[in-house]
Chain A
Amino acid sequence: NAGVTQTPKFRVLKTGQSMTLLCAQDMNHEYMYWYRQDPGMGLRLIHYSVGEGTTAKGEVPDGYNVSRLKKQNFLLGLESAAPSQTSVYFCASSPFRSNTGELFFGEGSRLTVL
């Protein structure tokens, strides 16, 4: 099994450009999450989804949009990238609500905004 796969793994953008990060999981998990990781800040939750067709805001949702049209995919979009969005982005999935079960993480996507 591939588990959780993120694409692309690396991307450089110019300020104002848009892009979409794709997260795909093959474990039939209901719950999916997008986190960003910055030095000294730990992992901060951007958006999450508790099932196909549903999304909710996390701690730092501004500047990002998400969609969960298919159960196995969770897309993170940046409509107008800013240097402050330079970060490593991790997607995670879980078969359980996060209060009871572990998260399975992807390998991360490193985004640089110039």
Chain B
Amino acid sequence: QQPVQSPQAVILREGEDAVINCSSSKALYSVHWYRQKHGEAPVFLMILLKGGEQKGHDKISASFNEKKQQSSLYLTASQLSYSGTYFCGAVTGTASKLTFGTGTRLQVTL
């Protein structure tokens, strides 16, 4: 079962912040975040392992709440280059299946 992402789409002005949420109906073992530009392959941003950690990647960070079975991606001071579709991927066991959400389309404008 796919994790649920929200919002489905968001438009920002350059410099604004955004939060993308990802929730699972099953217990999460780990969460991946990827960004995909139009016509290109998804690119890895970060992975969060079970344990409630938070990670950062330049001005993009993420948190993982194991109890709530949720992860959130935080984009601060957005740049034009942040535009794209963001996918969370959930691993709900020790198997090697990574299941992606339906994506959040982010557009950053001037």
Cα-based distance from A83 to B87 in the complex (angstroms): 26
**B74, CB-defined interface residue at 8 Å:** no
Chain B interface residue count, Cβ-Cβ cutoff 8 angstroms: 26
For chain B residues 59-110, which have a beta carbon within 8 Å of chain A? 87, 89, 91, 93-103
Residues in B with CB closer than 8 Å to A102 are 32, 44, 47
Question: Which residue from chain A places its CB closest to the CB of B29 in the assembled complex?
Answer: A99
> B41 contacts which of A40, A41, A50, A107 (Cβ < 8 Å)?
A107
Question: Which residue from chain B places its CB closest to the CB of A106 in the assembled complex?
Answer: B41
Cα-based distance from A106 to B41 in the complex (angstroms): 6
Shortest distance from the beta carbon of A66 to any chain B beta carbon, whole Å: 14
Chain A interface residue count, Cβ-Cβ cutoff 8 angstroms: 27
Residues in A with CB closer than 8 Å to B96 are 31, 48, 50, 56, 97-99
B97:A45 contact, CB within 8 angstroms: yes
Question: Which residue from chain B places its CB closest to the CB of A4 in the assembled complex?
Answer: B41
Cα-based distance from A101 to B71 in the complex (angstroms): 17
- A99-B29, A99-B94, A100-B49 given; A90·B42 CB < 8 A: yes
> B42 contacts which of A41, A44, A99, A105 (Cβ < 8 Å)?
A105
Cα-based distance from A84 to B6 in the complex (angstroms): 27
Residues in A with CB closer than 8 Å to B21 are none
A105:B41 contact, CB within 8 angstroms: yes
For chain A residues 24-69, which have a beta carbon within 8 Å of chain B? 31, 33, 35, 40-45, 48, 50, 56, 58-59
Residues in A with CB closer than 8 Å to B93 are 99
Question: Which residue from chain B places its CB closest to the CB of A110 in the assembled complex?
Answer: B39
Closest 3 CB pairs of A and B: A105-B41, A102-B44, A98-B98
List 28 A-B pairs, Cβ < 8 Å: A40-B102, A42-B87, A43-B42, A43-B89, A45-B100, A48-B96, A50-B96, A56-B97, A58-B97, A59-B2, A90-B41, A97-B96, A98-B96, A99-B29, A99-B91, A99-B93, A99-B94, A99-B95, A100-B47, A100-B49, A102-B32, A102-B47, A103-B44, A104-B44, A105-B41, A106-B41, A107-B40, A108-B41
